[in-house]
Amino acid sequence: MVQNDPKVFFHIVSKDDGFDALIDFMKERKLFIDRVESIDEIPLVKKMKAIESNPVAFIKDRILNVSSPSRLKTLRTAIAKWLEKDEEKLIDGIVESLKKEKFLEIDAQGKVNYPKKR
């Protein structure tokens, strides 16, 4: 697998710390590997669960902690990237929810303001 994709990331799902020597060995060789006790601890799985359970809250967290796009077009692009989905209807719904909650405002020129960030 490493020969095909040197940036592949291995996750060993086990409570058994006997794998830690193997993990250290692989990390010394600059391979990406980690051990987690459950699948739910894998970052990508955590992200997908957060998106599925409440996509609006997930986007609010990204806006507060990653980036606060200042233009509607940029916000829509960021939402598509964060969700890893470029679905117009989904993005429209999230933007409308954020406006309804007064988390953000969008003027006629497409400028985005975040009153709750102050």
Residue 16 lies in a domain: yes
One domain, residues 106 and 51 = yes
pLDDT, residue 86, reads 85
Residues 23 and 76 both lie in one domain: no
Which tokens in the block code for residue 106?
């969008």
Q: Within a domain: residue 3?
A: no
> Which tens digits make up the pLDDT trace of 9-31?
999 999 999 999 999 999 999 99
One-letter amino acid at 49 equals: K
Q: Tell me, what's the pLDDT at 118?
A: 52
Cβ atoms of 1 and 11 closer than 8 Å:
no
Q: In which domain, by residue range, is 97 found?
A: 44-117
pLDDT, mean of residues 54-81 = 94
Inside any domain, residue 27? yes
Q: Average pLDDT over the chain, rounded to whole?
A: 92
Beta-strand runs (E) in the chain: 9-13, 32-36, 105-106, 112-113
Residue 70 falls inside a structural domain = yes
Contact in structure between 8 and 34 (CB atoms under 8 Å):
no
The total of structural domains in the chain comes to: 2
Residues 47-66, mean pLDDT to the nearest whole number: 90
**Do both 67 and 110 map to the same domain?**
yes
Assess if residue 2 is contained within a domain.
Answer: no
Same domain, 13 and 71: no
pLDDT band at 117 (very low <50, low <70, confident <90, very high): low
Residue 51 is predicted with a pLDDT of 87
Amino acid identity for residue 74 in this structure: T
């490493």: which residue's tokens? 2
| Within-domain flag for 75 | yes
